[in-house]
Structure 1
Amino acid sequence: MDPGTALAVVSLSFQVFAGCVQGFVLLTEAQNLGKDASYLSTMLELEEYRFVHWAEAVGLLAEPQPKLHPRLNQALAAQLMAQLEKLISEPVQKLRDRYGLRLSAEPPASFSSQSGDAKSGTAQGVLSQALASETRRKILAKAGLIQKNISWPKRLWWAAVDKERLHQLVDDVSKLVGGLWALLEPIQQSEATYMLKRVLHQVISLCSEQEKLKDLRQALHIRQIGTAQESYDLIEITAGLKACRLDDTLGTKGSMNNDVNRTQLGRVMKLHPHLLANYQSQTKDSLSGTATYDGQRVWVEHKVVSRALRRKLASRVERLSELLSQPEDTDFLTLNCLGYFESSDRFVLVYAFPRENAAETGTDPVSLLDLLRSSTLKPTVTQRMRIACDLCKTILAIHTSGWLHKDIRAENIIFFPVSSSPEALTASKPYLTGFFFSRLDSPTEISEKPDGFDLFRDIYTFPGYIEDPEEDIAFSKRLDLYALSCILIEIAEWRPLKHLVRKCIEHHEPQTKILEKVRDWIKENEIENGMVAFRMGEKYALAVSKIFHQTQLVTEGSTSPRDEDTNTLLDVVHELEICRI
């Protein structure tokens, strides 16, 4: 193909691309869709973002002129874009005939700005800010569809909507955009998917509107992208967790203490203490263990609180139990909370066993600490990589939803094997428990600390946090990440951290000095001297290094953006997911 013809083809492709963007603008910004169908607008916004991101990946947005990727099947791409443009830029009459949808230039007679319709008339969803209006305007102006910085496609109104047929339109759009993504090379697909996930995590972190987060979760759930590489399950559950957090934060005190309201909303109910029996502590001094509740085998955690803080922390316990009562998900490995009750000096939270564990078999749960102490269990690098990745994804979901765990340690990572065989132990999933000190990530929240200092328990604690009057460090995501980096070292070495550092610490030293030596040992021996890379490979070592170095910004007074810690963990999850042993 001669240069002149090639340029004409590229120009035509950009013109069709811009026509598609214009169609997306008209549909996603149309007013009066209604609350019960608002998730469909979010689905369209998601497809528009994927479409524009695809165009960027193949070179359609290159400056000063589009330059298509040489290995792109341009003929098929042009055909798919033409179909997409025809689908979403069709005249109003064709949309009505094909999908039963009616768009109008004027508000329908039934719409009243003085009524509740005004709220449902707002079309913008949670993803409306992900693709800046300036980007859309620049694309349309470059194609000559609008005058730059002056005009904008006129906003339309939904005069009649058949939700099922609108859903069909969204499905048709999704298939065409998916076809365009399939034209990307595997590496391009992986990078594009990761960038989209990063944007979605940032959107969830910044969003403070519960209904928009619910729409996003429903949109991702319905979409059900087929391949594991493009799975958005973790983002779906994270959007639900953040929506739950906002629901609790914005709820009134009266509604939080009203059992009838909780029943109507499907929330966690207060349980009855007399139905809890056969409690067996995990260890001698542990605040967690197994029991039976109303005949069902359960996991139990005790949160001891002082009388002075009980009333202040009651709402937090309720919010936490609701957060942990979300449907079980393979990317969010926490136990499903059945409810809680108050008993003398404590709150008692009760959790169901995981579905894959037959509680009736009688096989006892075991902690990661128990497994690390075992002299016979030798999991492979692949199995240890899976444990690490599962744990990172769970903590990522907790942080993105606006919570801090505050007690990440090997004793609080529990496995529920179907039998006691080594094969069953290594095949079981790691569930994060021990939410004794968890709280919302907010400076106005009461922050609890453990009483006293216990090296075995507090070895995962960042130096200076527990009791140092000269260095009062507020808890943040980075301190959770520090504990996570310690756990990742244990998984790599497959030994408890206390045993690994015993030669470099003296038990009579001040606690801060001991914890500083632990931190320095991790940095020098495991990261700088390459021991983690030797045990688990370079990808795993890089993941540990990223997390560990992010935590060191605590003492350096970093003023980096709040979402930088979440992005670091997101990078780590991505690297571990694509790593193949």
Structure 2
Amino acid sequence: MAEVSLAVIGLAAQLFISVVQTYRFISDAQGLVKDAPELYWKLRLEEIRLLAWGRYWGLDQGKFDDFLQNAGLLDDVCGILTRMKEILQSTESMSKKYGIQRVEDPGVGQMTVVEEEEAPKKRHKLVSKFKWAFTDKTKFQTMITDLQDFNNGLHSLLRLGEYRAVGLVAQSESLRITESIATLSHLQKACIEAIDSQATATTITRSSSYYRDLLLATSSKQLLAAQSMDVVAPTGTSLPSRPDESLLKESSLVKDYTKNSPSSLRLLASYSHPENPPTQVLIEWKDIDKTNPHLRLISKRVNDLAELLDERYPKPADFRVLDCLGYFEDENNSRFGFLFSLPPQAQPIPPSSLHDLLARGAKTLPHLGERFEIARMIATSIIRLLDCGWVHAALRSENVVFFQNSGKGPQSLALSSPFILGFTYSRPQDPNESTLEYSQSNDTTHDLYRHPDVQRSHLTKPSQTRHIRFQQRHDLFSLGIVLLEIGLWEQIETLWKPKYTPDKFFDKLLSVYVPALGHRMGEVYRDVVWELLAGNGTGGQLGRGKKDPPCGDDEKGDDEVDESELGERGWADLIARLEACRA
């Protein structure tokens, strides 16, 4: 949370900061993490929800009270925050009702005047002579329930779209601070208990879906973390030549499709599961180079990708991915075919890609509100994957698809339901792993979606430079290109000229085409695209307010960038800004 002088901020902001500081004192309570990790994470979840809500209302911009006043919510918010402060800062209430005792910390002496002034500015190192000691699980759970109720009250003041955006920010933060399988397990249990408590409540609140979606996302990240721990046997060892390929299906089970069709085509087929009647599926091809020395690792990643998308592992709806039934090997054409279930209500015909729609120009131009929604849903999907620690590495408009709705005519595309396909050998964001797949074709237009650093590393000779691995920031750049296409409603290749180098084209995008979004899509949308392309997805304002694109600034162009440099608040704040774009 940004450092703000208490002397220049309003009453609501002072109350908010005071409550957050108390949250952090309690989360450091002696014995809490060791003896009750699930309770600790339930507390952290409520703290993160509160912080995301505060940032939406401009706390980081010093406009918290002003925004609340303009929305007519200042008195309501001050009332809730005042009650929270009274309860959390009452030693008697904390001890008798919540089972937390305040004890003197022998490691800290009397604070000086300077230390007392600096205390509100410190994050997790608040200077205090006292600490809280955790003593009673049952009473502590009562406190968490009360904090949930307070948070629910604050979040109920948001409109549905605002609530969705703030919830995504909070979920993103929760996922980014949990890395180990053990920690993810504690977070899962905390979500399950929160869901159970909501189920027994007398009133239904929006937060029920929040904890459910976070649980599903946490399960996906836990699966990916487990996959990253698998060891692939090096060539020449006596270990099995292939990883567990339980999702590899017999090719004889896949029928009624053109056998030697180009790999670029997505086809419908009939899949006969041994225990179920035949069903129609969508085939997406992945070419395989059988001479690649990393074939074992590729085989593992193919299976990992199928497992990630497996129908047996439910995912939040905003992941925007199709359920995978498995994959099969087409040995005659050296490729794997991924088998995807069609979405509900979809007609049994291959989907149309965003790239196809852009090629038709004004004939397929959706109205402004639809374009905002398409952009938001695509961005949400990619950022959810990033939160789970994976990269797509091939995001472009041809890998965003729309199905036709059943019963609404042959030309009725479900523009409100885009799906993301075309995943490469997506894998955990592990700096020790090298990128195995650069492109599935020699189509140079694919490079237009890639970060200039990635393009340069593959244009030069191997003896001159090493190939850099795909990173999450590279997916953010690709996302920026796709959002630019949506805003201009043009394919990116129509903007390219043979005389351009990757760097010159990048400069042209920032100096000409991104600014053109201002009068077509509005300043907020323009700024989000600029930030994704040039700002690595950081520094933006959540919800209220905006950040103007700097003039003349470019990326550093470093070969490797630590993902932690992408900002303390992460990428999900961009979704809240896109949520504010309305026709």
Question: Normalization by structure 1: what TM-score?
Answer: 0.69
Superposed CA deviations along residues 389-418 of structure 1, whole A, max 9, x for unmatched, are 111111111222221211112221111221
Q: Does 1:578 align with 2:580?
A: yes
Give the match for residue 536 of structure 1.
Answer: 521
Superposed CA deviations along residues 240-299 of structure 1, whole A, max 9, x for unmatched, are 332111111224669xx99xx98xxxx963322211112359984516432221121112
Identity among equivalent positions (%) equals 23
Contact kept in structure 2, 1:17 and 1:85, CA below 8 Å: no
Q: From 387, 410, 418, give the equivalent of 2:397.
A: 410
How far is the alpha carbon of 1:566 from its aligned partner? Answer: 9.2
Give the match for residue 391 of structure 1.
Answer: 378
1:449 counterpart SS class: coil
How far is the alpha carbon of 1:534 from its aligned partner? Answer: 2.5
List alignment gaps of at least 5 residues for structure 2.
1-12, 60-67, 103-119, 199-203, 234-238, 273-277, 537-553
Equivalents in 2 of 1:17, 1:309: separation in Å? 49
Contact kept in structure 1, 2:280 and 2:342, CA below 8 Å: yes
Q: Does 1:289 align with 2:267?
A: yes
Contact kept in structure 2, 1:42 and 1:215, CA below 8 Å: yes
Give the match for residue 459 of structure 2.
Answer: 467
How far is the alpha carbon of 1:574 from its aligned partner? Answer: 1.7
Q: Does 1:209 align with 2:180?
A: yes
Q: From 427, 432, 435, give the equivalent of 2:420.
A: 432
The alignment covers a number of residue pairs equal to: 492
Q: From 246, 255, 261, give the equivalent of 1:277.
A: 255
How far is the alpha carbon of 1:455 from its aligned partner? Answer: 2.8
What is the CA RMSD across the aligned residues, in angstroms?
4.9
Question: Normalization by structure 2: what TM-score?
Answer: 0.69
Name the CA shift for 1:193/1:230 in 2 (closer, same or farther; >3 Å). Answer: farther
Contact kept in structure 1, 2:266 and 2:285, CA below 8 Å: yes
List alignment gaps of at least 5 residues for structure 1.
1-9, 61-68, 96-101, 106-131, 139-147, 507-512
Superposed CA deviations along residues 349-371 of structure 1, whole A, max 9, x for unmatched, are 222122x334xx42331111222
How far is the alpha carbon of 1:568 from its aligned partner? Answer: 6.4
Contact kept in structure 2, 1:377 and 1:422, CA below 8 Å: no
Bigger helix fraction:
1
How far is the alpha carbon of 1:40 from its aligned partner? Answer: 4.4
Equivalents in 2 of 1:450, 1:562: separation in Å? 27
Name the CA shift for 1:556/1:246 in 2 (closer, same or farther; >3 Å). Answer: closer
User: What aligned pairs does 1:117-196 form with structure 2 within 5 A after superposition?
Assistant: 138=126, 151-156=130-135, 170-179=144-153, 194=166
Contact kept in structure 2, 1:402 and 1:441, CA below 8 Å: yes
How far is the alpha carbon of 1:482 from its aligned partner? Answer: 2.6
Name the CA shift for 1:18/1:456 in 2 (closer, same or farther; >3 Å). Answer: closer
Give the match for residue 46 of structure 2.
Answer: 47
Give the match for residue 99 of structure 1.
Answer: none
Larger RCO: 1 or 2 (CA < 8 Å, sep 6+): 2
Equivalents in 1 of 2:458, 2:21: separation in Å? 57
Q: From 505, 525, 533, give the equivalent of 1:548.
A: 533
Equivalents in 2 of 1:15, 1:534: separation in Å? 42
Q: Does 1:310 align with 2:275?
A: no
Name the CA shift for 1:233/1:381 in 2 (closer, same or farther; >3 Å). Answer: farther
Equivalents in 2 of 1:287, 1:16: separation in Å? 55
Q: Does 1:29 align with 2:32?
A: yes
User: What aligned pairs does 1:264-413 form with structure 2 within 5 A after superposition?
Assistant: 269-280=247-258, 284-286=262-264, 288-294=266-272, 295-307=278-290, 308-325=293-310, 326-344=313-331, 345-354=334-343, 356-358=344-346, 361-374=347-360, 376-413=363-400
Q: From 210, 222, 225, give the equivalent of 1:246.
A: 225
Equivalents in 2 of 1:155, 1:24: separation in Å? 10
Contact kept in structure 2, 1:298 and 1:351, CA below 8 Å: yes
Contact kept in structure 2, 1:336 and 1:351, CA below 8 Å: yes
Contact kept in structure 2, 1:19 and 1:89, CA below 8 Å: no
2:338 counterpart SS class: strand
